[in-house]
Structure 1
Amino acid sequence: MNALSRVQINLLACTLLLGCTQVLSQDFEPLPKSAAQQGDTDEKIALGKKLYFDPRLSATGTVSCNTCHNLMEGGDDGRPTSMGVDGLTGPRNAPTVWNSVFQASQFWDGRVPTLEDQAKGPMVADVEMGMAGHDQVIGRIQAIPGYIRKFESVFGPSDAVTIENAVEAIAAFERTLITPDSAFDRYLSGDKVAMSDVQIRGMELFESTGCTECHSGPAFNGWQPGSDGEFVEFPRITDSTFVKKYDLISDLGRSNATGDRSDDHYFKTPTLRNITLTAPYLHNGRVGSLSETVRLMASTQLDAELSDDEVAELVAFLSALEGRFPEIALPRLPSRLGESVLQQPEAAKGFGDATGH
């Protein structure tokens, strides 16, 4: 039996058992409309929003959290791999920050468990924000009186400006970055005209082909409240032609974080929410289109070859996962009166004297 006929037979069985517009309900859930935690006050969220958008937390004053996780679009940066300070690029594609609260771990290799821990990393990564250490980050913040007042108002007057408080505020803001009420969510809630016929066929195909083995739950990443991080071998089918074409094995994945060779080529399952907005795809950003990614995943993970119609149906279904984005106004950032917090390069300091200007 070839791979394509397995897909067709699975879909037929699903249709006969469940009906043409039903799927196994345990695989699919609406996205929660709130992810707030106790203590996520409006004031803390507002402080986290300022820090998220502030490029002065980078060595060159050019890179903020929003640089790589752009909230004006898909929560990523549209690059194969992100560009940090001084034009440096890292090895992996920037995951979306939208709905990142609905994950049991962060980064492609899941090396930290929380949004707070994740926020610490890029600040001191040399190819990202490039700060020499978290002390330098806090020094920048402490040099701005308006930030000191905001921290003291949120966290109290005693030793308020700390890296722990800074990332706590950023995480509180990021917990507001959720996108409920997609066509799919409305369909699950009983609005049977929220999705088109082709999207419904794509949903049934998504379930019957086995995509929900990894992409289940409200965020389509296997996450459930309180669940531990889960990691999946990628690629599973190493003789797929896509493996060489898109260099899928040079990155060892989770073992780079754990040091355990049994974790070679294991990655966190990414969310599929708003997946239509986050090209290019995969951990290395090598795949430029969603339809090609669908073919690749079927081949490398399920040993299945999809027809053009099946690919179109799956892409149509994935388009139904684009949710409602909250309105976000750009924050006003506090500044020092008439003085920069960024250190002037030594060469520039002497430029006026040397030229007479």
Structure 2
Amino acid sequence: MKSGDAPVEARQKHSRTPHWLRRYLALCTAGLVLSLAISAIAATNAAVDGREPLAPLRPPPQLDERAVALGKRLFSDNILSADQNQSCMTCHDLASGGTQHTARPTGQHGQAYRFNAPTVFNVGSIYRLGWRGDFTSLESQNEKILLDEDLMGVTWPVIVDRLSQNQSYTEAFEEVYGHQPDKRAILDALSTFQRSLVTPNSAFDRFISGDSGALSGLEVEGYRLFKDYGCASCHQGANVGGNMFQRFGIFTSPPQGSSSGDGDLGRFTLTHNPADKGVFRVPSLRNVELTGPYFHDGRVTDLSEAIAIMGVSQLGRKLTSDEIKALLAFLKTLTGEYNGSKLQALSSAKHY
């Protein structure tokens, strides 16, 4: 073979490759190089200017204090349930992390609901509400909960009639809204109160705002792991989650839970897209040490166990005991203050 044969043969093979395919491969290669370059630049810039995947939680916005007070009263009143035997506060106890420390709440007919009750704290700044992300407004979610036969099980005529027969409520609605109780005003009062339930000034908030001494060495290490291992890619922003979807079980299926009915199907029950089976809204990790049991069906009561499960199922990584300890320490720094006092697990232990 002559020395020039191989290059000629290669050129002949190259010439037999369709032009569109050569162009497509070249564009793919260029796109990959550009993507890597942009990622590297972004990472460098983030390191230089101090940007973080998480942000401090801000105080609640300016709200009508009269509407907040009325909403708080409604939130804790059994008058909103069909049998008048439970209130919103039953499942979202503000003295206990804004949730109920059972795997899943019990509805009007004594049956366990398909999903764990998420905390109501900081719910006003979460875009996607409900474990399946059913709702994008508190008003629509509140209406669904009130009318759901498996939860409050009431109807609008009943709610409006009960409140209209109550002189104290009619006077309060007249003062706040200028008219008698109706659907719009009831939902507005409930939602306004919920928007006031913000828990800022956690140790992590102070740290991310510039107070380097707010966290211990172990807590800082936990935050480093949280970022380096990719937890912050889903649990991001000021709420440390709450605004995107992810499959529960990316690398391996998590241990079997206790859901009933279609609870494990996730967004599939809404979209009917097979790709959405097992896809849920990523929950906020704010105050997470106080909001167990964990996951959509409340299958785990211990936060360390939940961390270990997330490592294997979501990260494809078996976390060591030291890593779990550090991550747990970091997550506990996300516990904030409500009305100027740090949230405490005052009654959680007795519920497990």
Confirm or deny a common fold (TM above 0.5). Answer: yes
What amino acid sits opposite 1:113 in the alignment? T
Matches within 5 A, 1:233-252: 233-238=247-252, 240=253, 242-244=254-256, 251-252=264-265
What amino acid sits opposite 2:285 in the alignment? L
CA distance in 2, matches of 1:298, 1:47: 43
* Count of residues in correspondence between the two structures: 296
- Residue 162 of structure 1 and its aligned partner are, at CA, apart by 1.2
Matches within 5 A, 1:170-319: 170-221=190-241, 223=243, 230-238=244-252, 240=253, 242-244=254-256, 251-319=264-332
CA distance in 1, matches of 2:109, 2:64: 36
- After superposition, what is the alpha-carbon deviation per residue over 1:123-163, rounded to whole angstroms, capped at 9, x for unaligned? 122221121x2221112111212111111221123xx4211
Deviates more, 1:147-156 or 1:107-116: 147-156
Identity in percent: 35
- Residue 297 of structure 1 and its aligned partner are, at CA, apart by 0.8
Matches within 5 A, 1:155-170: 155-157=177-179, 160-170=180-190
What amino acid sits opposite 1:79 in the alignment? T
CA contact (8 A) 1:63 1:84 kept: no
Match of 2:165 in 1: 143
What amino acid sits opposite 2:334 in the alignment? L
CA distance in 1, matches of 2:189, 2:292: 29
CA contact (8 A) 2:115 2:263 kept: no
List alignment gaps of at least 5 residues for structure 1.
Answer: 1-16, 224-229, 329-357
- After superposition, what is the alpha-carbon deviation per residue over 1:31-80, rounded to whole angstroms, capped at 9, x for unaligned? 011234xxx31111111111111111111211111000000111100010
Structure (1 or 2) with the greater helix fraction:
2
User: Are 1:44 and 2:57 matched, yes or no?
Assistant: no
CA contact (8 A) 1:35 1:101 kept: no
CA distance in 1, matches of 2:170, 2:259: 47
- After superposition, what is the alpha-carbon deviation per residue over 1:82-121, rounded to whole angstroms, capped at 9, x for unaligned? 1232433201100000011121121101111111111112
CA contact (8 A) 1:281 1:293 kept: yes
Deviates more, 1:248-257 or 1:55-64: 248-257
CA contact (8 A) 1:243 1:300 kept: no
Match of 1:226 in 2: none
Match of 1:104 in 2: 127
CA distance in 1, matches of 2:169, 2:71: 11
- Residue 214 of structure 1 and its aligned partner are, at CA, apart by 0.1
CA distance in 1, matches of 2:151, 2:49: 42
What amino acid sits opposite 2:76 in the alignment? F
CA contact (8 A) 2:115 2:259 kept: no
CA distance in 2, matches of 1:107, 1:98: 14
CA distance in 1, matches of 2:284, 2:49: 20
Larger CA Rg, structure 1 vs 2: 2
SS in 2 for 1:232: strand
Taking a change above 3 Å as real, the CA distance of residues 201 and 327 of structure 1, as seen in their structure-2 partners, is closer
CA distance in 2, matches of 1:23, 1:276: 31
What amino acid sits opposite 1:277 in the alignment? L
Taking a change above 3 Å as real, the CA distance of residues 62 and 321 of structure 1, as seen in their structure-2 partners, is same
Deviates more, 1:78-87 or 1:180-189: 78-87
Matches within 5 A, 1:102-141: 102-131=125-154, 133-141=155-163
- Residue 304 of structure 1 and its aligned partner are, at CA, apart by 0.7
- Residue 191 of structure 1 and its aligned partner are, at CA, apart by 1.5
SS in 2 for 1:31: coil
What amino acid sits opposite 1:201 in the alignment? E
Taking a change above 3 Å as real, the CA distance of residues 195 and 23 of structure 1, as seen in their structure-2 partners, is farther
Query: Which of 313, 316, 335 is 1:322 aligned to?
Result: 335
CA contact (8 A) 1:203 1:317 kept: yes
TM-score (norm 2): 0.79
List alignment gaps of at least 5 residues for structure 2.
Answer: 1-42, 342-352
Taking a change above 3 Å as real, the CA distance of residues 264 and 162 of structure 1, as seen in their structure-2 partners, is same
- After superposition, what is the alpha-carbon deviation per residue over 1:309-342, rounded to whole angstroms, capped at 9, x for unaligned? 00000000000000012269xxxxxxxxxxxxxx
CA distance in 1, matches of 2:251, 2:106: 31
What amino acid sits opposite 1:139 in the alignment? D
CA distance in 2, matches of 1:297, 1:204: 16
CA distance in 2, matches of 1:100, 1:72: 16
CA contact (8 A) 2:135 2:141 kept: yes
- Residue 222 of structure 1 and its aligned partner are, at CA, apart by 5.8
What amino acid sits opposite 2:157 in the alignment? D
Q: CA RMSD in A?
A: 2.3
